[in-house]
Amino acid sequence: MNTWELASKHAIRCDRPAADFFEGALLGNGGMGAVVTTRPDAVVIHFGHNNVWDIRIAENHQDQIGTFEDLFSKLKDIPSHYSSLSEDDWYREYVTMTSENYDFPYPRPMPCGSLLLGFDRRTTEVLGHKLALENGLCEIYFKVEGTDVTLLVFVDQHSDRLWAMLQYVEGKTEAANIFNRVRLIPDPHTPQELPKFEASIDVTAKQLSFRQTLPFSLEAAGSELEIVRNRSKNKAFRLSARLSSTIATIKDPQQLEAKLSEGKSTDSDFIVCVELQEGMDVDVESELKVIEAPRRDSFAAVFASSVEVWEAYWSRSGVSLEDEYLERIWYRNLYFFQCSVKPEATCPGLFANWSYGKIGSEWHGDYHMNYNTQQPFWLAFTSNHVDKHLAYVNMVDHVLPVSRKWAQDYYGLRGAYYPHSAYPVEMNMMPYPVPHWGWEVCETPWTVQSLWWHYLYTMDKGFLADRAYTPIKEAVLFMVDYMTRADAHGESWGDDRYHIFPTVVPELYELTPGFKKNSDCIVDLTLTKFLFRAFLDACEALGRIEEEDELLTEVRNILDHYPEYPTAESQRGTVFVSVAGEDPEVVYNVPNGISTVFPGEEHGLHSSPEQYRIAVNSYHNHRNEGGNELVFLNLAGARLGQLDLERFKRQIDYCLLPNGTCTDKLLESGGRYSDTTSFDYMGPMGIWFENFALPAVINECLMQSYNGIIRFFPNWPLDKRAEFRTLRAVGGFLVSAITDSGKIEEIEIYSEAGSTLRIYNPWSLATAIRKSGKEELTEEVLVLDTEMGETIRLIP
């Protein structure tokens, strides 16, 4: 399988000017992002970066928030017959106070400005553009007085630079520059209270540049003296563009606009190199730093080096599908994933590294820990790009101190309570301490879940010990203490179970009077059970059973006295619901009712007939308002072998934007949304990073291993040809397989870690071909001991 060629089949094309942000071609290197737009009179490229944020943060009212127990005691006194807690004056004022900090427009991703290359549209016409997935090259096509001219644009995969070069008609020896003006544009929505950007133009060097300071504090934003004093905490960025063409005149130095020499010139080519510097204020050049002169040979060398990165990326895994639509979705979203995240940069927020004006700033573009932040990284495991997940792991490390502080100071408990929302800036308190969402207990086990997956899919004990164990243990400590509180266990419950109380169903009921819908939410239960089991296995893997004996005893005791999952009778039979007493016809936001399937991984094709039937009923009965389900719900459907692929494709198409990404769109009213709500209101907010996980759904249709046993093509019609190469499975296995003409033809498995291999036998008789010889196998579940570095081939 040539994954490079397969990726090249699915270029993103536009056959007209693409003036809108969401029509432009998306480029990036995991840190810097660029959106290449084309107006009828100019090429405009918008820059962003995962590291560049307005780092100011409001942390008012820390002394007024109080403690969990104080607040819980007051909430108990609010009459249970109220329809909403907001009927209580005290609680309404408390919510207003605690939400005030989040109402500020910062922190937020900071757009890094734009490069404009203007031309005379009387002689020059934009025809469209093509974005090549295999190498990240954007070609912009022009018709210049009857002649075809192309502007080649790409982002350096090794440094935060963008290159652009005009390519002329073959055989033409003299350059004819089509651009008559160049401009660097600081973001027009830069907050006015921030220091004004510093502009520079060097005519001799043919370079334009501006520098923007990003103050650490509110005080620093309003006083030049404070900006200097806090320079050790301030950040900054500088955007510079150096051209090969001569600057004829400077139109306006402060507007960073210059006129260029057009037509034939002594310049050998038209090439521009744009560099984005970012970091601490003291580290970003105060004076203009001249970039080396852009030349055709340097363009070619940097592009060749970047192509090597893309070749290595595409070599990690691939699919070849008879269903061309799903194949296209797979490669396009893997391309976006490479552009948007890397472990050396800050973990992306909601809208990754593409921003302009207010685009990318909704909900602060922050980390939402009730699926949004986690979801993109579901792709990293099965697609064999586990290194990308380290960006998420770094984010967990970042939020761990404030999570520990909150557990101790607010809850008075051990461990860490992970946040509902968080920022990649210095935090001294929870950014969103509002109880009606801030008490979503599921976010604590959910935050650390993928750290365990990282170990399962790699069997890397060094990672488990050094990066995963502590955050997981901190979550376990908190959940053990929270579930063994007097209010969560004892005679008042009428049973011997340890309950998760109080809690909040993700994005559905808030806190309710009398806590009628605030105990044992199914998402809390399934993720906490996942967490506890992971910790038990982690201690076993690391040889820490004796060292953690006391905590493990507490965990086992809770698991032995665990609440049942809430169910209800629906028109399709028994279904799981988010909380006891819930109407099974409720319209959900997050797909709570199927959470034991995913992310809980407790139910699926491996389940008993009874549990499987309830899970399938729950999936088919599920009603979702849309905007949070495109990957989440469909992945659960694939895990059950119930995903309707044609309907899945139609849903993707419904959410598809001109740039090839999928936005979040509503599906039905009746929940939080009314008949007059705009069903695409989330579309203009930004590039939804979370939906780049769509290939994970396709992977689960082709192969599943979540329970430690590999299952082949569980949600794929075998009469449609499909091939995948080196998808990653639990146990540290790289798996390849082909199905065609109604049967699975062959399987190849590479063992990275030397784990025991378990496979649901896809044939009545299988032959294993190994270095040691052939072996015939008839068991329903094949069990093979493997050696590290061994390749095993299976055929019918």
The pLDDT > 90 percentage for the chain reads 92
**Binning pLDDT at 50, 70 and 90, where does residue 251 land?**
confident
CA dihedral 672, 673, 675, 676 (to 10 degrees): 130
* Angle, vertex CA 446, rays to CA 444 and CA 450, nearest 5: 125
- Give dist(CA 395, CA 415) in Å, integer: 17
643 burial via Cβ count (<10 Å: 0-12, 13-18, 19+): buried
Band the pLDDT of 170: cuts 50, 70, 90: low
Residue 258 near residue 250 (C-beta atoms within 8 A)? yes
Q: Which tens digit of pLDDT belongs to each residue from 280-292?
A: 999 998 888 899 9
Residue 164 has what pLDDT?
A: 97
Taking the model in full, what pTM does it have? 0.97
Query: What residue type is 151 in one-letter code?
Result: L
The predicted structure's pLDDT at residue 265: 45
DSSP for 530-549, written as a single string? HHHHHHHHHHHHHT-TTTTH
Is the bond leading into 599 cis (omega within 30 degrees of zero)?
yes
Residue type, 278: E
Average pLDDT over residues 494-512: 94
Residue 583: pLDDT over 70: yes
**What pLDDT is stored for residue 192 in this prediction?**
92
Q: Residue for token digits 């309830």?
A: 614
Average pLDDT estimate for 289-309:
95
List beta partners, residue 139.
130, 152
pLDDT in tens, 34-69: 999 999 999 999 999 999 999 999 999 999 999 999
Q: Report the C-alpha gap between 577 and 593 in whole angstroms.
A: 5
Residue 707 has pLDDT above 80, yes or no: yes
Average pLDDT over every residue of 120-137:
97
pLDDT for position 173: 43
What are the tens digits of pLDDT across the range 395-454? 999 999 999 999 999 999 999 999 999 999 999 999 999 998 899 999 999 999 999 999
* pLDDT number for residue 228: 67
pLDDT at residue 231 tops 80: no
Tokens 């490669």 belong to 331
> What's the count of helices (H) and strands (E) in the chain, helices before strands?
19, 37
Strands 623-624 and 587-588 come out as: parallel
Give residue 172's pLDDT.
55
- Bridge partners (DSSP) of residue 319 are 724
Listed in sequence order, the residues at least 6 apart from 750 whose beta carbon sits closer than 8 Å to its beta carbon are 726, 733, 734, 735, 789, 790, 791
Backbone angles phi, psi at 164, to 5 degrees: -140, 140
pLDDT for the residue numbered 456: 98
- Which of the residue ranges 230-244, 268-282, 695-709 has the most confident prediction, judged by mean pLDDT? 695-709
* Calpha distance 695→330 (Å, rounded): 5
- pLDDT computed for residue 436 by the predictor: 87
pLDDT at site 177:
87
Please report, to the nearest 10 degrees, the dihedral formed by the alpha carbons of residues 434, 430, 221, 159 taken in order. -120
Which range is least confidently modeled, 196-205, 353-362, 567-576, 617-626? 196-205
Task: Give alpha helix (H) positions in 321-360.
Answer: 324-340
DSSP 261: -
CB 246 within 8 A of CB 87: no
Other beta carbons within 10 angstroms of residue 494's beta carbon come to: 7
CB 635 within 8 A of CB 694: no
Torsion sign (Cα): 107, 108, 112, 113: negative
Residue reference for tokens 């052939």: 774
Query: Lowest mean pLDDT: which of 213-217, 398-402, 641-645, 747-751?
Result: 213-217
Res 174: pLDDT? 47
Residue 74 backbone phi and psi in degrees, to 5: -70, -40
Token pair recorded at residue 38: 């084309």
pLDDT digits (tens, 9 = 90+) for 551-578: 999 999 999 999 999 999 999 999 999 9
- Say yes or no to pLDDT of 266 above 60: no
CA distance linking residue 763 with residue 401, whole number of Å: 51
Average pLDDT over residues 193-202: 93
What does 33-98 look like in DSSP terms, one character per residue?
EEEEEEETTEEEEEEEETT-EE-------TTTS--HHHHHHHHHTS-TT-S-GGGSHHHHHHHHHH
User: What is the distance between the alpha carbons of residues 359 and 365, in angstroms, rounded to a whole number?
Assistant: 9
Angle at 475 between CA 527 and CA 630, to 5 degrees: 40
Q: Which helix (H) or strand (E) holds 100?
A: helix 89-103
**Rounded mean pLDDT of the chain?**
95
- Bigger pLDDT: 533 vs 269: 533
Other C-beta atoms closer than 10 Å to the C-beta of 259 total 16
Residue 93: CB atoms within 10 Å = 10
